[in-house]
Amino acid sequence: MTIRTILVDDEPLAIQGLELRLQAHDDVEIIERCVNGREAIRAIKTHKPDLVFLDIQMPGFDGFSVVQGLLDIEPPLFVFVTAYSDHAVRAFDAQATDYLMKPVEEGRLGDTLDLVRRRMAEKRGAEEVDRLKEVLAEVAPDSVENLAESTETPAANRFEKLINIKDRGQIFRVDVDTIERIDAAGDYMCIQTGDNTLILRETMKDLEKRLDPRRFQRVHRSTIVNLDLVKEVKPHTNGECFLVLGSGAQVKVSRSYRDVVARFVH
């Protein structure tokens, strides 16, 4: 899977430095280089890249203006690159896939590209299933239902391994392995990692799509638990039970969700 990529920065040395680091990743194909926002908008609409590394601070059209200028098309994945950390929160508000600080570190760049690969694989997988369903709906309608059943258990690598969380004016990169439970509060999620609590503005429905269901299961209308971190199951009255987690916290499992959880913890 080739990642067709455009680099956008008004500093030629910055483009050269990023291009040099990207050479270590054989699946990245740089198809265009742009030195300002207007040029970037034209190039993105013309070439329809998979990924854009986008500088924020540029004269005239800055990086955020570029994103706004592409609202009429299906946008590529954006990774913002800048020397100013105070832009981080706004970058994620603009639906950035990730945010890199200059000078770009090779390790962080590798993590970013892993995230890009997962997002692309998920998108292409969904598109292929949709196209197949359209064909089957015409030639073999009964097969559409069977196809839906066969695609209910997706590969683990399509799910997030790191989640970027904006909280208290900072960006936290949370390893999903450390997430113990998630509690919903309206459109906000309280991400509990055992020793810390972070607030993520996202619905539970959308967050569930990003997590591997073989590990993360809803045990209550407003609670998701990492089943790998369940240490004990305590029966309770009325068919309910409590899960004791690694931190010692206890989570009540409502009766309607007990059968789902039992398949994983027994």
pLDDT at 193 over 60: yes
**CA 87 – CA 100 distance, rounded (Å):** 11
Q: What is the pLDDT of residue 148?
A: 54
pLDDT at 54 over 90: yes
pLDDT band at 134, cuts 50/70/90?
low
> Around 201, how many Cα atoms within 13 Å sit in the side-chain half-sphere?
8
Say which range, 140-154, 157-171, 184-198, has the weakest mean pLDDT. Answer: 140-154
Q: What is the pLDDT of residue 123?
A: 76
Cβ atoms of 190 and 181 within 8 Å: the answer is no
pLDDT band at 71, cuts 50/70/90?
confident
Q: What is the pLDDT of residue 128?
A: 62
Q: What is the pLDDT of residue 233?
A: 83
Cβ atoms of 223 and 182 within 8 Å: the answer is yes
Q: What is the pLDDT of residue 37?
A: 93
Q: What is the pLDDT of residue 49?
A: 96
Q: What is the pLDDT of residue 157?
A: 60
User: First and final CA of the chain: distance in angstroms?
Assistant: 39
Q: What is the pLDDT of residue 129?
A: 59
Residues in contact with 263: Cβ distance below 8 Å, sequence separation at least 6, in sequence order: none
Q: What is the pLDDT of residue 133?
A: 58
Cβ atoms of 207 and 182 within 8 Å: the answer is yes
Backbone φ/ψ region at 128: left (φ over 0), alpha (ψ -120 to 50), beta: alpha
**CA 216 – CA 210 distance, rounded (Å):** 10
Q: What is the pLDDT of residue 18?
A: 96
Give residue-wise pLDDT tens across range 55-70.
988 888 888 889 888 8
pLDDT at 127 over 60: yes
DSSP secondary-structure letter at 1? -
Say which range, 135-139, 167-171, 235-239, has the weakest mean pLDDT. Answer: 135-139
> 144 vs 82, which has greater pLDDT?
82
> 40 vs 133, which has greater pLDDT?
40
> 240 vs 178, which has greater pLDDT?
178
In terms of average pLDDT, the best of 25-39, 141-155, 156-170 is 25-39
